Amino acid sequence: MAKASTKRPTLWGLHYSPWTEKARWALDVNEVDYRYREHLPMIGELPLRWHTRSRDKGVPASVPLLLDEAGSHGDSEQIARRAELLGKGFGLFPEGGDATLAEWTERAQAALEHARALVIHATTQSDLAQIESLPPAVPSLMRRSMRGVARRGARFLARKYGADPSALDEHERALQEFCSALAKALARGDHLIEDRLSYADMVCAVAVNAMNPPAHLFRHKPATRGVWTREAIVEAHPEVFAWRDRLYARHRGL
Ligand SMILES: N[C@@H](CCC(=O)N[C@@H](CS)C(=O)NCC(=O)O)C(=O)O
């Protein structure tokens, strides 16, 4: 049972974003009762900046963003730690696991940034993915003519996060290296710290999602699934994707 709270927390996120997924997963395993709200890049930028106005200089306003009685928590790891306090205290940050956790958090964050650059590049090249990314409220007759809005959204994110969509080989190589290192670490067992699910497993699994989304994502958006899929990496590291699927089946109910 989640601990009682006077105000129900609200999580703002992007449902397909791996960063949002880290926060949701941590809130869910902790059985925190929260409301979810979908952020719209570009359009939601100003309110997002306002809610995260206490962030450090130079840090972009981003989701996931958790608003609760203690204030705003604007970073996925901060939210996961908060989830441990708000909820049942699952134990995502085991004592003695700090060094391993810091190492994988850093590697997974770098992998996510490389993956984001590739997704943005692929999105700008795919008319269909741009159409699929428009909000469902846009009527079908208008979707094709409005795909430029989605393309502007992708370029906006590239500028905001400093993604370099021209260094395609470098991004791909970095992702291959991340998967090789992860496969090596997982050869000892399914968990990176002790023999149980921790935040280190979560950050790596969501980084893997950014190279090949789990089955429940983009089910009816084949072009979007395509821009998020790195075929060569999926072929080179089937064990890593099989691990992600096992983790999701056992610990995410998906
Ligand atoms: N430090 C943040 C980074 C999150 C992040 O990069 N979020 C991006 C995901 S693409 C985002 O908010 N994009 C939407 C926007 O900037 O409007 C965390 O780990 O939570």
CA of 63 to the centre of ligand 1 (A): 5
Burial 79-111 (b: 16+ CB within 10 A, else e): bbbbbbebbeebbbbbeebeebbeebbebbeeb
Token readout for 190 is 């399914």
Domain housing 243: 98-251
Are 50 and 150 part of one and the same domain? no
The DSSP letter of residue 59 is P
Residues 89-120 pLDDT 10s: 999 999 999 999 999 999 999 999 999 999 99
Residues 197-249 pLDDT 10s: 999 999 999 999 999 999 999 999 999 999 999 999 999 999 999 999 999 99
Which of 86, 114, 148 finishes a domain?
86
CA distance 3 to 45: 32
CATH number at residue 42: 3.40.30.10
CA distance 168 to 227: 13
Are 81 and 158 part of one and the same domain? no
CA distance 107 to 200: 10
Which of 86, 109, 133 finishes a domain?
86
Q: For the chain, what is the domain count?
A: 2
Q: What are phi and psi of 6, to 5 degrees?
A: -75, -30
- What's the pLDDT at 246? 97
Ligand 1 pocket residues where CB is under 6 Å: 14, 17, 19, 41, 45, 62-64, 75-76, 116, 157, 160
Which of 86, 117, 133 finishes a domain?
86
Residues 5-63 pLDDT 10s: 568 999 999 999 999 999 999 999 999 999 999 999 999 999 999 999 999 999 999 99
CA of 42 to the centre of ligand 1 (A): 12
CA of 178 to the centre of ligand 1 (A): 20
The answer to whether residue 107 is domain-embedded is yes
Token readout for 201 is 């497993």
